[in-house]
Structure 1
Amino acid sequence: MKIKNILPILLFLTSFPFYAQNEKTNQKLEKIKAYKISFLNEELELASAEAEKFWPLYHAYEEKKYKLRHEKMETYLQKLSDDTINSTSEKQARALLSQMENTNRALYLLRKNYLSSLRQVLPAKKIVRLIKSEKDFNRKLLKQYRDKAGKK
């Protein structure tokens, strides 16, 4: 067999496990999102009129936050590997710091606008409860992960 015939087969076989892993990860993320929505619904006790206005805001905010954090921060992490840091010039390091500051500023402004929008939909007490509930959810999720990892 020629290498031209083998190469596509090898590429397919090596990429298949990564695709399956990515699909599993996506399923887990969707499961966590559904669990979080259920948890927040229970904690916030939203009236139907509140829920109707709240959830679109919440989902839009989460999506934008995810994009900012994961798409932008991923590039930073690639640049922050040990080998890259050691070979980075001062000028490149300053540019990277500037990019990080811009992303942090964008995250801050996104959160500020989100909270401002929430004030028009929910009473302040429920917004505070939302913030607390999100932290509680993250703690609960982390605890479940630790408990599961400890059993292995």
Structure 2
Amino acid sequence: MKNKIFTIILLFVSISTFAQLDKEKSYTKKISEKLKALKVAHITEQLDLTKKEAEAFWPIYNAHEEEKHKHFESSMKKRKDLDIEKLSESEAEALLKEMQANEEAKVKSEKAFIEKLSKVISYKKIVKLMHAERTFKRKMIEEFRGRHREMRKD
């Protein structure tokens, strides 16, 4: 009898935990989608793309953002559970070489991105894009800091 009660309680706790994880994933996804929409609006406003330019620009931009995200995920996954103190010299060397290769791949990707973009928008707009991305990032950091300060006051 005690085993059945324990099993039922364990089942409810498990379901509750999974429900909470789903809520957190859903919340994170909503935030991510909102940020992406804000970024798209900011870039659109800053670049003042024509309809023709926008139709060609966004697929290239979105593919590049996805590629950058994959590089980031790959890099983070490898370093997430890394215990630097336990690394052997050969493991550290391999890690550094891998990090360098990842950086080189990012630079190569950025060059290819600019090359593709230059066929659909002017170089001046590409420079504006880079500026728009920096200003968006700065705005988001300032927003986060402001909200964090507000929370501390409460």
Taking structure 2 as the reference length, the TM-score comes to 0.89
Q: For residues 114-125 of structure 1, what are the structure 2 equivalents within 5 Å? A: 114-125=113-124
Q: For residues 1-152 of structure 1, what are the structure 2 equivalents within 5 Å? A: 1-2=2-3, 6-79=9-82, 84-152=83-151
Output the CA distance in 2 between the equivalents of 1:6 and 1:72.
Answer: 40
Output the CA distance in 1 between the equivalents of 2:128 and 2:44.
Answer: 11
The alignment partner of 2:93 has SS state of: helix
Q: CA deviation at 1:72?
A: 2.9
Output the CA distance in 2 between the equivalents of 1:14 and 1:95.
Answer: 38
Alignment deviations for residues 85-123 of structure 1 (CA, whole Å, 9 cap, x no partner) = 111111111111122112111111111100110111111
Output the CA distance in 2 between the equivalents of 1:5 and 1:115.
Answer: 58
Alignment deviations for residues 23-68 of structure 1 (CA, whole Å, 9 cap, x no partner) = 1111101000000001111110000010000000000000111011
Query: RMSD of the alignment, in Å?
Result: 1.5
Corresponding pairs, count: 148
Greater C-alpha radius of gyration: 2
Output the CA distance in 2 between the equivalents of 1:11 and 1:101.
Answer: 42
Structure 1 unmatched ranges of 5 or more:
none
The alignment partner of 1:37 has SS state of: helix
Q: CA deviation at 1:13?
A: 2.4
Structure 2 unmatched ranges of 5 or more:
none
Q: CA deviation at 1:5?
A: 5.1
Output the CA distance in 2 between the equivalents of 1:139 and 1:89.
Answer: 38
Q: CA deviation at 1:139?
A: 0.5
